[in-house]
Amino acid sequence: MTHRILVVSSDAAARNDALGILNRAGFLATGAASFEEASHALTDVTPDLLIADERLGAFNGLHLVVRGRAVSPRMRAIVTSDVTDTVLEQDARHLNAVCVVKPSDPVEWLGRVSKTLGTPILMSA
């Protein structure tokens, strides 16, 4: 089964890098640039995994986790941050989500995705 992943980041370069890594690894990854765009995509895509930046304008990635789980209760979630934030990590845990400092290495990204989905990666980045 191919997993559907929604990547949400206002940073176009980071979003495109993540999409490339994930699609090359065999996932069906799509992107969104804003909270609003992602809100619509959550119902259109119904992802198995949401990867969202902490900061999304007036909202944050945790807001998307809540919204996504309303549509797809079994959706897994990773919220990314530029720095270690213990409060964000705690809030993410309460939502059964993972909070990570943005990995820069494709292998690290795929490892985090694999661990969160509970599935092995079949192709390399």
Domain segments of the chain as ranges: 4-117
- List, for residues 3-60, the tens digit of each pLDDT value: 999 999 999 999 999 999 999 999 999 999 999 999 999 999 899 999 999 999 899 9
What lies within 8 Å, CB to CB, of 98 at 6+ separation is 76, 77, 78, 79, 92, 112, 116
Domain 4-117 is of which CATH architecture?
3-Layer(aba) Sandwich (3.40)
pLDDT higher than 60, residue 124: no
Q: What is the band of 78 on the pLDDT scale with cuts at 50, 70, 90? A: very high
Say if pTM beats, i.e. exceeds, 0.85: yes
Long-range CB pairs of 97-104, under 8 A, 24+ apart, other chains included: 97/62, 97/65, 99/54, 102/14
| pLDDT at 74 > cutoff 90 | yes
